[in-house]
Amino acid sequence: MHADQLRTLQAPLKETYREHPEAALITLRASSRLGEGVTCNVETGKALVEAGLHPATGGTGLSACSGDMLLEALAACAGVTLNAVATALGIVLRDARVLVEGDLDFRGTLGVSKDAAVGFRLIRIRFELDTDARAEQLESLLRLTERYCVVYQTLAGGTKIDVTHAVGSGPAA
């Protein structure tokens, strides 16, 4: 896709959102349902994924780990955002990889130590780019990718989460 094609694609959306800000407020949804053993099934919109315990917490390694899925979501979002920003700026990327790593201390997850945090201690993102872009172009590309990557901004910003529950006689539809 070229920059003009991207602008043409996004222009009517941007105009609508300027004139009707409420139209830009979209609720994305995800759900899971308990599976066999200590697993759950997650509908991704494209496929059903069975998520389970990481081997470091007793899992078999045959099910997707939700921590891996979080890092995969970050890698996917950063990759799509990088590509869109590069396109908008007219930067040609012959190839690009987004590598995401996260460090966990499973003592926290397993309740072994109250001093060990539950969750990622540190997440690292590395962009490997094959491009002839100048240093200042690359600086803009990475700065804007960080700015507009939804998953990155959500994790970095510490989004408030509202938790509720419902008790019923059977599985929710």
pLDDT, averaged per 10 consecutive residues of the chain (173 residues), comes to 82 84 72 63 77 84 87 92 92 91 87 86 91 96 96 92 84 56
pLDDT of 154:
94
pLDDT of 136:
96
pLDDT of 1:
78
pLDDT of 37:
66
- Adjacency order of strands within the sheet including 48-52: 32-34, 39-43, 48-52, 64-65
Rounded CA-CA distance 2/18 in Å is: 24
pLDDT of 142:
96
Rounded CA-CA distance 105/53 in Å is: 14
97 SS3 class: strand
pLDDT of 35:
61
Beta-carbon contacts of 42 under 8 Å, excluding residues fewer than 6 positions away, are: 30, 31, 32, 48, 49, 50, 51, 64, 69
pLDDT of 34:
60
pLDDT of 25:
76
User: Which domains, ranges and CATH numbers included, belong to the chain?
Assistant: 3-157 (3.30.300.20)
pLDDT of 79:
93
Q: Are 88 and 7 in contact (CB under 8 A)?
A: yes
